[in-house]
Structure 1
């Protein structure tokens, strides 16, 4: 397979994510599929191509050294299929629904080969979680997220220090807005960073919340509040402050009523700031219910076998 065929082939294997994976490579364990990449392709090029579709990868193996913390829930199925005489030299990983996608290099004898691996991925069902778990812990569990693994990723750290990964700076945003942000939101973005749940619900970083609020306030000042009825934009009393959105232009806001940001309810609008639906819960509880409750009024379509968080900032 050449690199031009890579993305369409991988996409067909992970969407939908219920098809059977059968690898015919000699000595490989069952339950996965290996794609050998030929031609003059370079690993960095392949990782960048996959990153355009699936976000920032995790590093499972770098320069022949495997991350000792890798587990079944954080990418181990991408490392176990290889047979005797094969050594994984590099492996980057993406979660997508009920599939792991891996891209790396494997040494076979004296030759290093580029390979893409697709393997099954499972996460716990909501009913399997402890009843006393916090909403954030539940969200972490059903998406299989491991914040510590991501923070310690050597390649990600290098990209972060080079300025290629956007930081989460709640304090600067709060100073600019003149108000604290809800504590659960701050813990949410500190844990997950910049990205989208199920590749659909995009959580705004604090700096983006500020930009959106300033734009909305400027628009309202110029054009009046009529187009915002029945809810004005922040910083009007009880105004809307947007913290997430989707590609379908659904907006997720807080109603900034009262002095306690932790008590701000969630407010959801379709296209534009017209009348929406109020939910008396935190943003984190709302996201969890949106992902896991098929009867939720804004439920994400259950097209996949598992939930995931697509980390933005693809490799460049």
Structure 2
């Protein structure tokens, strides 16, 4: 699949990591499969959206086949490319879904323009916390983690987020009571439990 030029430049310049401790862009060389652009997450998220759309659980304003997950927030929102037209990636625009609700946000531009608009305060995404920019604008590179190539990812095994939160707190991690659990903590829990 071709990718937008602005994303390729961003990925080359910054590598895997997080903007403002909140916004994670998926990257082909990410330290874990959970934020890897070429890993299992994009397909898994797309399947969830198709399931929601088929069952009417949450409205999905685009055909899930035209949504390519390319990032996430610490609150659990996903960022998507709306891949229309499919063969002209530099014309794709950005969509975000609410983590635990039906709302969507659309940005009529590419990921680089979206980041500039959000991180300079020119665009306000109502799905994001008001204090996202309170600590200033910064980028934190991901810490590389050991990975196994071609690792099978269980798709039917449910993981109790409460169990992960309890384990994380017992091991000195600061985790929120609700929302997305940072990928590094989930990876640590999986490693500690042989998963």
What TM-score does the superposition give when structure 1 sets the normalisation length? 0.37
Cα–Cα, structure 1 residues 276 and 310, in superposed 2: closer, same or farther, change >3 Å?
A: same
Is structure 2 residue 139 aligned with structure 1 residue 309?
A: yes
Cα–Cα, structure 1 residues 187 and 272, in superposed 2: closer, same or farther, change >3 Å?
A: farther
56, 59, 62: which one aligns with 1:231: 62
Task: Output the aligned Cα RMSD.
Answer: 2.8
For the pair shown, the structure with the greater C-alpha radius of gyration is: 1
Aligned length: 133
Cα–Cα, structure 1 residues 278 and 206, in superposed 2: closer, same or farther, change >3 Å?
A: same
Cross-structure match for 1:193? 15
Counterpart-to-counterpart distance in 2, 1:301 and 1:220: 26
Report SS of the residue matched to 1:266: strand
What are the equivalent positions in structure 2 for 1:35-74 lying under 5 Å apart?
none
Is the 8 Å Cα contact of residues 52 and 60 (structure 2) preserved in structure 1? no
Higher relative CO (CA 8 A, sep ≥ 6), structure 1 or 2? 2
Question: Structure 1 unaligned runs (5+)?
Answer: 1-178
What are the equivalent positions in structure 2 for 1:214-253 lying under 5 Å apart?
214-219=43-48, 225-226=54-55, 227=57, 229-233=60-64, 236=65, 239-253=66-80
Question: Structure 2 unaligned runs (5+)?
Answer: 30-35, 147-195
* 1:58-101 deviation digits (Å, cap 9, x = unpaired): xxxxxxxxxxxxxxxxxxxxxxxxxxxxxxxxxxxxxxxxxxxx
Is the 8 Å Cα contact of residues 230 and 274 (structure 1) preserved in structure 2? no
Counterpart-to-counterpart distance in 1, 2:21 and 2:102: 25
Counterpart-to-counterpart distance in 1, 2:41 and 2:109: 22
Structure 1 or 2: larger strand share? 1
Cross-structure match for 2:6? 184
Cα–Cα, structure 1 residues 315 and 243, in superposed 2: closer, same or farther, change >3 Å?
A: closer
* 1:282-304 deviation digits (Å, cap 9, x = unpaired): 10111111111165235763322
